[in-house]
């Protein structure tokens, strides 16, 4: 593009000599600015350290003073005489209760001296009782005390349990408010048995009120379990903070969270194992530094632009291209009449045109050879890594030894593209070449202009490989640019393009794996159709499923039920069940593609087998026209399978409605009416009906099915199951329902119910009750 605009050879030695000279001259002031920037940055970091240390010191002194008060009061209570008298008692007598009441008053006096404390209580292990600063709770009612903290008794005992002499626990209520339980254990004389625990309850809000909230950053403390207590108005998410990130209290710690860099400091507590921390955006301190960076960037941009323009101007001025040679020939044409300048000019023009054509042919051949080399390696035709590395290095700036990803690009519904509308068959080949050029050009301008890589044609699709680190990939700019390309393709060309991206890999030996991952994503996208995005990474198509293979038994049960619905000609219900199977029995995980395909073919086989048995035998001509197997095998995705099978059921339903205009004999309706009136008779079967009509048994069974599409036995069981469902839903047991509808025992009902419905009567009733609960 640039070569065409400037109109001269950019490799000309004159141009580069000028450009190099001007760049050298402009480098000196930039180096001076960089020196100032580096030294100024060191000074700023020292100021940050001093400022944060001062803030943390004040925070630590204030909070550690509170902790000292808690520790001292806990020790005081642990040595209390009244506590010592009550500590070994299993039950409290009246005099003991009086002593406990006095202990309560002393606890309340101590609690009143601690303004940040909400409650102090002592738990006695021997008597399983609790004495607080306001009340006494015996073993029978201490669950009421636990409930005041939104805990069960077991949860409360677990929360106040600490293996050490003292400690703390952090609990949260349903609203997310934190409370600290400071614990002090009281042991017997040999410190073997724990007799009581003194608990000082400190709501965190009482502490956080004294912490200055920050518009930018966060002041908090964190313990080894990564439990964090801070100002609730803090602007940083707590899930990115870790106790182990703070290892050197005499040094600033820099971390990047999202797109923002933070500087962090900490001080350890004197009493417990948590750390006081402060985290503030680096930009808060670096505003002047940012202005300096902006100035350096502007200076660099102006210097490069000026050097380029001056180099271009003087190189063009001193360079004589062919157009200048033509001008010189025409000028001398008037002076020297013996030389045929027209022929010389035509010869030079033809020579220039041939050179241009040869150059284009050479470029195309080189590009084709490069594509062939890449294709051969990813397809396994060539395993020589050194040849691949040499080919890529000589044709591109891409580096296989740096992190990279592969992206496979293919077209969907290409005939819907605007370029293919209104063209003849002979024009399609050239139009397809034009489409490939447009697709590649947009991709190169949007993606390869920002990332080092190459675009190659492999096996009827485009393969784009770019150098990118996991950190750069995580910021989302690549995904944004790719979706921008997809929007351009859709709006400009009305063309849907699928793009699958691999994981980040490194090294020549991982090149084929990256390609395979990208193509697997394309296959995954094709299978799920419109139910999945047009662009996806390999990691995004993988989901953790613990019960993948448990779906197989569910699928078999639903296939059995689908078969029975088709057999009973309930095609609308069969279509609903089919759609439910397609929605629930296929797993959106790239590792389950083979499983999904097997399930798809199993479902197609079930539908075909049933249609062949039910329709193929009774109406062979319609079945051949319907051609279900060939139509279903064309399904390449969940979406297309859904449309094809629903269309087949719709055609069958319409055909049957036409066939119903031919009335069947009176004895068929007589059988239907008799079954409706006597289905609850345990002895009702085909033989009974044949005797009643005084007709041949095999003729009755065969002819009834040819008219209705299902057998007499099936009709009896289906009617009984309908009545069974009704009785189950009004509260009858399975045994009661079995006796009422004509089965000798519940086992026969369960076996028949599961055959036709795919589940047992108990499961049916349970599913219905669950639905009622969800609706409620």
Q: What is the pLDDT of residue 201?
A: 92
Q: What is the pLDDT of residues 580-624, one digit of tens each?
A: 877 777 766 666 666 777 777 777 777 777 666 666 555 667 667
Least confident of 80-84, 91-95, 707-711, 726-730: 707-711
Question: What would the mean pLDDT of 473-491 be, rounded to a whole number?
Answer: 88
Rg (CA), the chain: 42
Q: What is the pLDDT of residue 122?
A: 92
Contact between 264 and 246 (Cβ < 8 Å): yes
Least confident of 90-99, 115-124, 348-357: 348-357
Q: E strand or H helix at 396, and its extent?
A: none
H helices present in 87-208, as ranges: 94-112, 142-147, 153-159, 204-208
Which DSSP category does 612 fall into? I
Q: What is the pLDDT of residue 198?
A: 92
**More confident position, 222 or 346:** 222
Angle at alpha carbon of residue 487, lines to 483 and 488, rounded to 5°: 115
Q: What is the pLDDT of residue 200?
A: 92
Confidence class for position 214, pLDDT limits 50, 70, 90: low
Give the pairing type, strands 136-137 and 129-132: antiparallel
Question: What would the mean pLDDT of 13-24 be, rounded to a whole number?
Answer: 71
Domain 663-776: assigned CATH number: 1.10.10.60
> Per-residue pLDDT for 6 more than 50?
no
Beta bridge partners of 141: none
Domain boundary assignment for the chain: 51-285, 384-541, 557-656, 663-776
Range of 275-279, 584-588, 663-667, 738-742 with top mean pLDDT: 738-742
Q: What is the pLDDT of residue 285?
A: 67
**40 vs 643: CA distance, rounded Å:** 68
Across the chain, mean pLDDT equals 79
Q: Sheet with 129-132: list strands edge to edge.
A: 136-137, 129-132, 119-124, 194-203, 178-187, 166-172
Confidence class for position 240, pLDDT limits 50, 70, 90: low
**525 vs 684: CA distance, rounded Å:** 54
Fold of the domain spanning 51-285: Beta-Lactamase (3.30.450)
Angle 571-584/593-611 helices, nearest 10 degrees?
A: 170
**667 vs 687: CA distance, rounded Å:** 15
> Per-residue pLDDT for 66 more than 70?
yes
**More confident position, 548 or 49:** 49
**116 vs 63: CA distance, rounded Å:** 11
pTM for the whole structure: 0.41
**285 vs 681: CA distance, rounded Å:** 90
Q: What is the pLDDT of residues 358-414, one digit of tens each?
A: 777 777 777 778 888 888 888 777 777 888 888 888 888 888 889 999 888 888 777
Ramachandran bin of 628, using left for φ above 0, alpha for ψ from -120 to 50, beta for the remaining angles: alpha
Contact between 193 and 87 (Cβ < 8 Å): no
**76 vs 763: CA distance, rounded Å:** 62
Q: What is the pLDDT of residue 121?
A: 92
Range of 220-224, 230-234, 580-584, 610-614 with top mean pLDDT: 220-224
Least confident of 130-144, 148-162, 371-385: 371-385
Percent of the chain with pLDDT over 70: 81
Q: For the chain, give me the number of helices (H) and strands (E)?
A: 30, 16
Q: Sheet with 453-458: list strands edge to edge.
A: 453-458, 461-467, 404-412, 496-501, 535-537
Range of 537-551, 641-655, 678-692 with top mean pLDDT: 678-692
> Per-residue pLDDT for 551 more than 60?
no
**More confident position, 182 or 571:** 182
Q: What is the pLDDT of residue 467?
A: 92
Q: E strand or H helix at 418, and its extent?
A: none
Task: Name residues whose C-beta falls within 8 Å of residue 84's C-beta, 6 or more positions apart in sequence.
Answer: none
Burial class (CB in 10 A: 0-12, 13-18, 19+), 699: exposed
Least confident of 466-470, 545-549, 752-756: 545-549
Angle 666-678/697-708 helices, nearest 10 degrees?
A: 100
Say yes or no: do domains 51-285 and 663-776 share a fold: no
String of b and e for 185-217 (b: at least 16 CB within 10 Å)? bbeeeeeeeebbbbbbbbbbebbbeebeebeeb
Beta bridge partners of 456: 463
**568 vs 756: CA distance, rounded Å:** 10
Question: What would the mean pLDDT of 181-190 be, rounded to a whole number?
Answer: 85
Confidence class for position 694, pLDDT limits 50, 70, 90: confident
Contact between 168 and 180 (Cβ < 8 Å): yes
Confidence class for position 3, pLDDT limits 50, 70, 90: very low
**239 vs 206: CA distance, rounded Å:** 23
Q: What is the pLDDT of residue 659?
A: 59
**769 vs 488: CA distance, rounded Å:** 51
Quick one: which of 114, 117, 61 has its CA closest to 269? 61
H helices present in 587-637, as ranges: 593-611, 617-618, 620-626, 628-633
- Which tokens is 203 given? 């709501």
Domain 384-541: assigned CATH number: 3.30.70.270
**259 vs 474: CA distance, rounded Å:** 10
Q: What is the pLDDT of residues 657-669, one digit of tens each?
A: 665 545 567 888 8
Contact between 186 and 195 (Cβ < 8 Å): yes
């Amino acid at each position: 593009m640039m070569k065409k605009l400037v109109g001269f050879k950019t490799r000309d030695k004159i141009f580069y000599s000028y450009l190099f000279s001007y760049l050298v001259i402009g480098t000196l002031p930039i180096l001076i600015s960089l020196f100032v920037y580096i030294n100024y940055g060191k000074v700023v970091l020292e100021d940050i350290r001093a400022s944060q240390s001062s803030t943390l010191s004040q925070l630590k002194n204030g909070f550690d003073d509170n902790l000292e008060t808690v520790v001292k009061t806990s020790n005081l209570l642990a040595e209390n005489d009244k506590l010592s008298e009550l500590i070994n008692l299993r039950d409290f007598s009246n005099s003991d209760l009086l002593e406990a009441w006095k202990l309560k008053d002393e606890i309340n006096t101590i609690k009143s001296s601690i303004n940040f404390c909400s409650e102090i209580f002592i738990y006695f292990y021997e008597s399983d009782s609790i004495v607080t600063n306001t009340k006494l709770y015996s073993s029978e009612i201490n669950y009421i005390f636990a409930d005041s903290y939104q805990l069960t008794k077991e949860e409360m005992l677990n929360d106040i349990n600490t293996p050490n002499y003292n400690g703390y626990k952090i609990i949260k209520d349903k609203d997310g408010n934190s409370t600290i339980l400071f614990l002090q254990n009281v042991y017997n004389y040999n410190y073997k048995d724990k007799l009581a625990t003194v608990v000082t309850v400190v709501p965190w809000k009482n502490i956080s009120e004294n912490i200055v909230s920050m518009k930018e950053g966060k002041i908090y403390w964190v313990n080894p379990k990564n439990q964090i207590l801070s100002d609730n108005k803090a602007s940083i998410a707590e899930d990115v903070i870790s106790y182990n990130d703070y290892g050197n209290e005499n040094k600033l710690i820099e971390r990047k969270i999202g797109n923002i860099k933070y500087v962090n400091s900490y001080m350890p507590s004197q009493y417990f194992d948590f750390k006081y921390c402060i985290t503030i955006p680096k930009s808060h301190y670096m505003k002047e530094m940012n202005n300096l960076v902006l100035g350096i960037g502007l200076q660099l941009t102006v210097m490069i632009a000026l050097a380029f323009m001056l180099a271009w101007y003087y190189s063009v001025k001193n360079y004589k291209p062919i157009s200048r040679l033509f001008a010189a020939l025409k000028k001398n044409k008037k002076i020297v009449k013996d030389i045929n300048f027209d022929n010389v000019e035509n010869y030079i023009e033809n020579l220039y045109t041939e050179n241009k054509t040869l150059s284009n042919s050479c470029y195309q051949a080189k590009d084709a050879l490069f594509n062939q080399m890449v294709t051969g390696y990813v397809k396994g035709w060539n395993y020589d890594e050194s040849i691949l590395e040499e080919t890529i290095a000589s044709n591109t700036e891409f580096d296989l030894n740096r992190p990279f990803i592969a992206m496979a690009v293919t077209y969907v519904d290409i005939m819907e593209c605007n370029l293919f509308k209104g063209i003849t068959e002979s024009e399609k080949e050239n139009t397809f070449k034009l489409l490939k050029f447009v697709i590649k050009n947009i991709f190169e301008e949007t993606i390869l202009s920002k990332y080092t890589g190459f675009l190659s044609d492999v096996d009827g699709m485009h393969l784009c490989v770019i150098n990118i680190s996991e950190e750069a990939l995580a910021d989302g700019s690549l995904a944004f640019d790719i979706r921008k390309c997809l929007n351009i393709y859709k709006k400009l060309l009305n063309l849907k393009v699928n793009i699958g991206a691999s994981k980040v890999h490194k090294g020549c030996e991982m090149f084929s794996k990256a390609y395979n991952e990208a193509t697997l994503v394309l296959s995954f996208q094709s299978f799920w159709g419109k139910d999945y995005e047009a662009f996806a990474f390999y990691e995004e198509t993988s989901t953790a499923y613990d019960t993948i293979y448990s779906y197989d038994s569910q699928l078999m049960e639903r296939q059995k039920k689908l078969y029975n619905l088709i057999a009973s000609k309930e095609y609308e219900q069969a279509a609903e069940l089919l759609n439910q199977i397609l929605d629930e029995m296929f797993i959106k995980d790239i590792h389950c593609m083979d499983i999904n395909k097997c399930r798809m073919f199993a479902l197609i086989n079930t539908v075909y087998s049933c249609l062949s048995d039910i329709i193929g035998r009774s109406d062979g001509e319609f079945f051949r026209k319907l051609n279900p197997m060939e139509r279903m095998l064309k399904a390449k995705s969940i979406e297309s399978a859904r449309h094809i099978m629903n269309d087949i059921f719709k055609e069958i339903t319409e055909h049957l409605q036409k066939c119903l205009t031919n009335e069947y004999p009176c004895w068929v309706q007589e059988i239907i009416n008799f079954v409706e009136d006597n289905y609850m008779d345990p002895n009702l079967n085909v033989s009974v009906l044949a005797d009643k009509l005084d007709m041949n048994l095999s003729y009755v069974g065969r002819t009834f099915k040819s008219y209705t599409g299902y057998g007499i036995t099936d009709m009896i069981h289906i009617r009984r199951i309908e009545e069974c469902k009704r009785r189950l839903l009004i509260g009858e047991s399975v045994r009661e329902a079995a006796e009422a509808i004509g089965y000798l025992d519940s086992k026969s009902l369960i076996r028949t119910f599961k055959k036709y419905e795919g589940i047992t009567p108990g499961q049916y009733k349970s599913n219905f009750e669950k639905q009622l609960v969800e609706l409620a």
